[in-house]
Amino acid sequence: MVAIVTGRASDERILNWIKKRVAGVVAQRIADADGVSQPQVIQCTNKVKAADAAESGEDVAGAYW
């Protein structure tokens, strides 16, 4: 069973995943360390990346993986 984390804890977890992906850690390794699926890590971090690009209106791709 996977626990669903909400609120601030969820935000911090996703920010940590983003930091790791930017540092070159593969999504599967992040997922294994946090007990979640690889698609969950990819989906959550990609949503933040897309929202950042949409909100800023700038090319933010260089700041990500």
CB atoms within 10 A of CB 44: 17
Is 45 part of a structural domain of the chain?
Answer: yes
Is 3 part of a structural domain of the chain?
Answer: no
Is 65 part of a structural domain of the chain?
Answer: no
Structural contact between residues 24 and 65, judged by C-beta atoms closer than 8 angstroms:
yes
* Domain that includes residue 45, residue range: 8-18+26-60
CA distance 9 to 7: 6
When divided into structural domains, the chain yields a total of: 1
CB atoms within 10 A of CB 26: 13
Q: What is the tens place of the pLDDT at every residue in 14-31?
A: 999 999 999 999 999 999
Is 41 part of a structural domain of the chain?
Answer: yes
Structural contact between residues 34 and 13, judged by C-beta atoms closer than 8 angstroms:
yes
Is 1 part of a structural domain of the chain?
Answer: no
Q: What is the tens place of the pLDDT at every residue in 42-59?
A: 999 999 999 999 998 888
pTM over 0.85: no
